[in-house]
């Protein structure tokens, strides 16, 4: 299963807030393969994607597949 970022709902994990609109996302990994450094790289990537969506006046999807 690939790692994904999902709009925050009732599940509590590491979260990332979009600087532009304030929507919250959490990054979920398979518990057997969690690496903090890898998750931090994915969070930085996600920040860029969210900013680019605002630049294009595009709404954030409910799920964003993160790079491996």
- The whole-number average pLDDT for the span 10-24 is 76
Q: Which pLDDT does position 24 carry in this prediction? A: 87
* Residue 4 β-bridge partners: 28, 65
Domain spans in the chain, listed from the N-terminal domain onward: 4-65
Q: Is the pLDDT score of 23 beyond 60? A: yes
Q: Residue 38: enclosing H or E segment and its boundaries?
A: helix 36-55
Which pTM does this prediction carry?
0.69
Q: Please tell me the distance from the alpha carbon of residue 13 to that of residue 55, in angstroms, as a whole number.
A: 27
């Amino acid at each position: 299963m690939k790692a994904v970022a999902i709009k925050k709902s009732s599940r509590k994990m590491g979260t990332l807030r979009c600087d532009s609109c304030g929507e919250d996302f959490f990054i979920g990994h398979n518990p057997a393969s969690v690496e903090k450094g890898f998750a931090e790289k994915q969070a930085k990537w996600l920040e860029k994607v969210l900013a680019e969506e605002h630049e294009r006046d595009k709404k954030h999807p409910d799920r964003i597949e993160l790079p491996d």
